[in-house]
Amino acid sequence: MAGYRKLGRTSSQRKALLRGQVTNLLYHGKIVTTEAKAKEIRKIAEGLIAMAVREKDNYEEVTVTAKVARKDKDGKRVKEVVDGKKVTQYDEVEKTIKKDMPSRLHARKQMNKVLYGITEVPTETAGRKKNTKTIDVASKLFDEIAPKYEGRNGGYTRIVKIGPRKGDAAMQVIIELV
């Protein structure tokens, strides 16, 4: 007996499908899919959430000094002429950043092997590349999802049956984070 469902796909197609579904589940909180896919998604998602809960507080805050380009009121860089060349002016800014400890860094890399990057596009500028944001789903796992499940031992997802699909009568379910 196989250790996983093949879902009628080749291994590369199956891996891509599950990666996409797990990423969307963690980003949106719930998705609608078939029962067989949901059971496979649950295995992967619960493993990632358990990893995030384990490594949630495993970082140190470090203050660093960074050079940031000075900008004018329009958001353009301020340039000054020095020795006949235009040179950008920089300010030094102190920032506090989270520095992952080695085990958390390893967990983040393991998560990024499974999760896809998400590009968020604002609705008013749909179709334009300018105001898009790249969402790091691994950071969302550590910062938002893991604190919710801190005292819980597994069972991070719920599968609710919603009835057969019209076209092929496959059982549709909602899989959601509890």
Q: 53 with 63, same domain?
A: no
pLDDT confidence band for 74 (50 / 70 / 90)? confident
Q: 15 with 53, same domain?
A: yes
Note whether residue 70 is domain-resident. yes
Q: 30 with 77, same domain?
A: no
The rounded radius of gyration (Å) of the Cα atoms in the chain is: 22
Tokens 């009835």 correspond to: 163
**What is the average pLDDT across 72-88?**
85
Note whether residue 68 is domain-resident. yes
DSSP 37-52: HHHHHHHHHHHHHHHH
What are the Cα distances from residue 152, in Å, to 50, 55, 65?
9, 14, 39
What's the pLDDT at 174?
Answer: 97
Give the whole-angstrom CA distance, residue 176 versus residue 159.
7
What's the pLDDT at 1?
Answer: 56
Q: 52 with 123, same domain?
A: yes
Q: 83 with 113, same domain?
A: no
pLDDT confidence band for 96 (50 / 70 / 90)? very high
> Containing domain of residue 142, as a range?
11-58+101-177
Q: 84 with 126, same domain?
A: no
Q: 20 with 93, same domain?
A: no
**What is the average pLDDT across 37-61?**
94
Q: 72 with 89, same domain?
A: yes
Q: Which of 48, 79, 99 is the last residue of a domain?
A: 99
Total tally of structural domains belonging to the chain? 2
5-35: per-residue pLDDT in tens?
999 999 999 999 999 999 999 999 999 999 9
Note whether residue 91 is domain-resident. yes
pTM to 2 decimal places: 0.82
pLDDT higher than 70, residue 126: no
CATH number at residue 163: 3.90.1030.10
The 3 state secondary structure assigned to 108-153 is HHHHHHHCCCEEECCHHHCCCCCCCEEECHHHHHHHHHHHHCCCCC
What 3-state class would DSSP assign to 158?
strand
Of 86, 85, 84, 66, which is closest to residue 76 (Cα–Cα)?
A: 86
Note whether residue 47 is domain-resident. yes
Note whether residue 143 is domain-resident. yes
Q: 150 with 67, same domain?
A: no
Q: 109 with 49, same domain?
A: yes
pLDDT higher than 90, residue 142: yes
Lowest-pLDDT range of 2-16, 117-131, 158-172:
117-131
Asked if residues 53 and 149 have their Cβ atoms less than 8 Å apart, the reply is: yes
pLDDT confidence band for 80 (50 / 70 / 90)? confident
pLDDT confidence band for 88 (50 / 70 / 90)? confident
Asked if residues 159 and 174 have their Cβ atoms less than 8 Å apart, the reply is: yes
Q: Which of 99, 116, 151 is the last residue of a domain?
A: 99
